[in-house]
Every structure is written in structure tokens, then in C-alpha cells.
Structure 1
Amino acid sequence: MLEVTDLRAGYGQAKVLHGVSLKVGEGELVALLGSNGAGKSTLNNNISGIFKPFAGSIRFDGIEIAGAGSEEIVDRGLIQVPEGRRVFPNMTVRENLELGSYRRAKPNRARNIEHVVETFPRLKERFGQYAGTLSGGEQQMLAIGRGLMAEPRLLILDEPSLGLSPLLVEEMFALIQKLRSQGLAVFLVEQNVVQSLEIADRAYVMENGLITVEGAAKDLMNDEELRRSYLGM
């Protein structure tokens, strides 16, 4: 579904990605792991069309999208839930969700709202509240719900557990696993190594703009050398 090949990208003269290659298959949950500054968000933003890469290929459903506008990429069904939630604080939960279908799936807006509140029952309780009054965990649910409103074929989740309490982290990973069980392809970009590997099919480890390790998630979890050298476990 998504194939990134030898991607090189950065900002101005600063090079951040130095030839990144990875794949996400249909219905897969693939994790990209790495510390702050590894280049994970730069990769996300190039895949999503927010920035244009220096070189390399990004193919979605066999179609080249490197350098395409973010609106075209959204129209194709590749949706990113960005790091930091970025909900609209002075709009209600409902209004935030409705904005998620602005470019895609607008005719199915009412049906998709029902699907989102079934997936995240807490949002139904907060439907008329301003997003800025929600807790951190509720805002993250809202951000993911807003992404689901566009009927994604591939959902990119950038650090969804960031800033959440341990209890909410557990809940968030359970919700991500639920989305995957519904057949949605998910590209999970995270620093939370253990829980990401527990739910992922495959995983990549990024360091300094390079993929240094890749493989089945269960193999990475059980490889003692990788646990020590790359995962800090």
C-alpha cells in the first residue's frame, strides 16, 4: 500500500533523512521507532505532502506521491494524525470531527460520526464541549477520531501516546489495536518501544535519519542484541 524508497529529505540545506526505505501493506500495523531527533516526524511530513523530499520515491497504491500536495494525498485516503493532537480548542468536539471530512467522505459525515463515537464513547459524552476543555487523553481520541472521519485507507499516527499518563497510554494502545482489528492499515510512529512492538506486525528502528533495524515485531522484541543496542531494553 505504502512504499518509501531511498527517501532523502530535510529543511533548507539541513539534511535529515539519508535514504530511508520502508513498506506498509494493506491491513498491516507497522511501527516506526526512534528517539527524538531521529527523523520520524520529517518522514511523516514528507509522506503526507507537508514538505517535499530532496530525492527518492513515495508510492501509495502504486502511484507516485512524492512532492504531491497534501490535499491530493488526503483525497487518496492517506491521513496523518500529527504529533501534539492539534485539535481546534475553540471549536466543539462535533465541529472538530466534522472538519475531518472536509476533503474526503463528506457525504458519509453523519455515519462516520456515529462510527467514531462508537469507537471512542467518551467523545459522545463530550460532544458539545469545546475541545480545549478536554483532557490530554480525550484530545488524542478526538485527533484520531477526526482522522477517521476521512475514511482513511492508511492512518499515520505520530506519537499518539506522547504526554499521556501510563493508564491512558495502555488505553490508547488498546484503541490502536482495535482499529487495526477492523482492517485499517496503521503506520504507528512512536518512542514507546515495548507497547508498540506488542501490537505491531512489523517494525523499523530509525536513528539519525536512517533505518538501522527492521523485521517482524515479535523478532525485534525477542532479539537480545537488538534490545540492548537499539531499543534500550
Structure 2
Amino acid sequence: MLEVRDLRAGYGAVEVLHGVDLDVGDDEIVAILGSNGAGKSTLNNTISGLFPPFGGAIRFDGEDICGAPSERIVERGVIQVPEGRRVFPNMTVRDNLLLGGYRRGRANRKRNLDGVVAVFPRLGERFTQHAGTLSGGEQQMLAIGRAMMAEPRLLILDEPSLGLSPLLVEEMFGLIRRLHEEGLSILLVEQNVMESLALANRAYVIENGLITLSGPADELLDNPDLKRSYLGL
């Protein structure tokens, strides 16, 4: 579904990604693991068209989307839930959700809204509440619900567990599993190594803008380099 080849990207004159290769297949969860500053969000934002790449190739369903405008990439069904949720705090929960279907999924807005509420009943209870007054976990639900309004074919989740309590982290990963079981392909970008590898089909480890490890998630769980670098074992 998604093919990234020799991707170089960054900000201004500073190159952050130095030739990244990765794939996401149909009906897969692929995890991108790495510490702060490794280049994970740069990768997401470049795939999503928010920043132009320096070089390389990005294909989605065989179509070249490298350097395409973000709105075109959204229209193809590549939808990102950014790090930090980025809900519109002074707008209601309902209006935040409706904005998610602005470029894609508008014809099915009512059906999609009902689907989001079925997954997140708490959002339905807070339709008229301003998003900025929600808890961190509820805002993360809202950010994912907003993405679902766009009928994603590939959902990019950037640090969905960041800042959540251990109980909510467990709930969030359960939700991601459920979305995948319903047929959604997911690129999961996380620092939570154990939870991500337990959930994913395959995984990549990015360090200093380079992929340093990759393979089936269950094999990476037993990789001594990964255990030493990220788990202190």
C-alpha cells in the first residue's frame, strides 16, 4: 500500500532523514520506533505532504505522492493523527469531528459520525462541549475520531499514547487493535516499544534519520540490540 524509498527530508537546509526505506502492506500494522529527535515526526509529515522531501520516492497504491500537496494525499486516504492531538480547543467536539470530513468522506458525514460515536461513546456524550475542556485521553479519542471521519485507507498515528496514564495507554492500544481488526492499515509511530511490538505485524527502528533495525515484530521483541537500546536490558 505504502512504499517509501531512499527518502531524504528535513527542514530548511537541515537534513533529518538520510535515505529511509519502508513499506506498509494492505491490512498491516507497521510500527516505527525511535527516541525523541530520531526523525519519526519528520517521516510522518513528509509522507503526509506537510513538508517537501529533499529526495527519494513515496508511492501510495502505486501512485507517486512524493511532494504532492497535503490535500491531494488526504483525498487519496492517507490520514495522519498528529503528535499532541491538535484538536481545535474553542470548537465543540461535534464541530471538530465534522472538520475531519472536510476533504474526504463528506458524502457519508452522518454515517461516519455515527460510526465514530459507536467507537467512542464518550465523544457522543460531549458533542456540545468545547474540545479544550476534555481530558487528555478524550482529546486523543477526538483526534482519532476526527481522522476516522475522513474514511482513511492508511491511518498514521504519531505517538498516540503520549501523556496518557498507564490505564489509558492500555485502552488506546486496544482501540488500535480493534481498528485494525476492522480492516484498517495503520502506520504506528511510538516510543512505547513493548506495546507497539505486541500489536504490530512488522516494525522499523529509526535512529538519527536512518533505519537501523527492521523485521517481524515478534522477532524484534527478542533482538538484543533493541533490548539494550530501548529497554535497558
Shorter-chain TM-score range: over 0.9
SS in 2 for 1:83: coil
SS in 1 for 2:116: helix
Q: Deviations over 1:191-218 (max 9, x none)?
A: 0101000100000000000000000001
Which residue of the partner structure matches residue 35 of structure 1?
A: 35
Residue 230 of structure 1, CA deviation: 5.2
Once residues 49 and 232 of structure 1 are traced to their aligned partners in structure 2, the CA distance between those partners, rounded to angstroms, is: 35
Taking a change above 3 Å as real, the CA distance of residues 78 and 68 of structure 1, as seen in their structure-2 partners, is same
Which residue of the partner structure matches residue 132 of structure 1?
A: 132
Contact 1:205 1:230 (C-alpha < 8 Å) held by counterparts: no
Once residues 7 and 21 of structure 1 are traced to their aligned partners in structure 2, the CA distance between those partners, rounded to angstroms, is: 7
Once residues 224 and 39 of structure 1 are traced to their aligned partners in structure 2, the CA distance between those partners, rounded to angstroms, is: 22
The one-letter code sitting in structure 2 at the alignment partner of 1:115 is G
Taking a change above 3 Å as real, the CA distance of residues 59 and 232 of structure 1, as seen in their structure-2 partners, is farther
Once residues 220 and 231 of structure 1 are traced to their aligned partners in structure 2, the CA distance between those partners, rounded to angstroms, is: 12
Percentage identity across aligned positions?
72
Q: Does 1:190 align with 2:179?
A: no
Once residues 63 and 56 of structure 1 are traced to their aligned partners in structure 2, the CA distance between those partners, rounded to angstroms, is: 14
The one-letter code sitting in structure 2 at the alignment partner of 1:123 is L
Contact 2:193 2:230 (C-alpha < 8 Å) held by counterparts: no
Taking a change above 3 Å as real, the CA distance of residues 39 and 231 of structure 1, as seen in their structure-2 partners, is farther
How many aligned residue pairs are there?
233
Dislocated runs of 4+, deviation >6 Å: none
Which residue of the partner structure matches residue 163 of structure 2?
A: 163
TM-score, normalised by the number of residues in structure 2: 0.98
Structural RMSD (CA):
0.9
Can you give the 5+ residue segments of structure 1 that lack an aligned partner in the other structure?
none
SS in 1 for 2:59: strand
Q: Does 1:217 align with 2:229?
A: no
TM-score, normalised by the number of residues in structure 1: 0.98
Which residue of the partner structure matches residue 142 of structure 1?
A: 142
Can you give the 5+ residue segments of structure 2 that lack an aligned partner in the other structure?
none
